[in-house]
């Protein structure tokens, strides 16, 4: 939003009237004197712009990256807007679709829910870091072989999640559908449950499952 409106008082806009219009008063600048009780004093911390930015260093796809960013920037926006790694997609931007899934220190995360400044020293892997067109990761190749996508928007997140899911099962990490916590097995229920955070509007779920099962067998 253009910050140029910040000095105009909404009370005066709400109080718009024909008489006021005659005086062209709808955009009268708000009084900001200390005597105006409706104008709270800003704390030094809020006005200290040096505190709103941080320097953070993380390794992204094997390359160390140093960023000087606003503390409010999400990991997703840091990847897409600052590092130009646009493979990771923004769907809902609040943790509901999984399109923004990346791996941080080997575990999948929704990068839209994580602030970049929280990742000092972390290892981040995006879909670009899994493989290249000339040397695809087995999960990328399996998605192509099984038509695990249509529009492809959710696909980077699906692939990152799918890769992580196989690793989670092999590590014995249980899910909500695990029957025997001491023996986590690879089956369709486990794969579907663990991929349930990755929404595909095109409905490629059956093909994604087939791709995952193929990779699970190939790498067993």
Q: Rounded to the nearest 5°, which phi and psi values hold at 74?
A: -75, 165
Site for ligand FES in 101-120 (CB under 6 A): 110, 112
Site string for ligand FES, 143-162 (x = CB under 6 A): ------xxxxxxx-------
Contact flag: residue 187 with ligand FES (CB under 6 A): no
β-sheet bridge partners, residue 115: 74
Q: Which residues lie below 8 Å from residue 195, measured CB to CB, with a gap of 6+?
A: 158, 161, 162, 165, 205, 208, 209, 212
Site string for ligand FES, 5-44 (x = CB under 6 A): ----------------------------------------
The Cα–Cα gap between 51 and 26 comes to 35
What CA–CA distances, in Å, run from 58 to 132, 163, 178?
Answer: 21, 22, 34
Q: Which of 53, 59, 65, 93 binds ligand FES (CB under 6 A)?
A: 93
Q: Which of 53, 70, 81, 95 binds ligand FES (CB under 6 A)?
A: 95
Q: How far is the CB of 171 from ligand FES (least distance, A)?
A: 23
């Amino acid at each position: 939003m253009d910050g140029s409106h910040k000095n105009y008082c909404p009370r005066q806009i709400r109080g718009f009237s024909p008489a006021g219009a005659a005086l062209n008063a709808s955009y009268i600048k708000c009084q900001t004197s200390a005597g105006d009780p409706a104008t709270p004093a800003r704390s030094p911390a809020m006005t200290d712009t040096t505190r709103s930015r941080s320097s953070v260093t993380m390794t992204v796809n094997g390359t160390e990256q140093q960023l000087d960013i606003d503390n409010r920037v999400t990991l997703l926006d840091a990847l897409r807007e600052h590092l130009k790694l646009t493979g990771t997609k923004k769907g809902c931007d609040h943790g509901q679709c999984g399109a923004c899934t990346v791996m941080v220190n080997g575990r999948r995360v929704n990068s839209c829910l994580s602030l970049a400044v929280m990742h000092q020293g972390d290892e981040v892997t995006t879909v670009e870091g899994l493989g290249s067109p000339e040397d695809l990761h087995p999960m990328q190749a399996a998605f192509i072989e099984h038509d695990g996508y249509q529009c492809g928007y959710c696909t980077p997140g699906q692939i990152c999640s799918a890769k992580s899911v196989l690793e989670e099962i092999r590590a014995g990490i249980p899910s909500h559908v695990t029957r025997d916590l001491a023996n986590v097995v690879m089956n369709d229920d486990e794969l579907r449950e663990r991929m349930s955070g990755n929404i595909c509007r095109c409905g490629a779920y059956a093909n994604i499952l087939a791709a995952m099962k193929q990779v699970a067998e190939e790498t067993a």
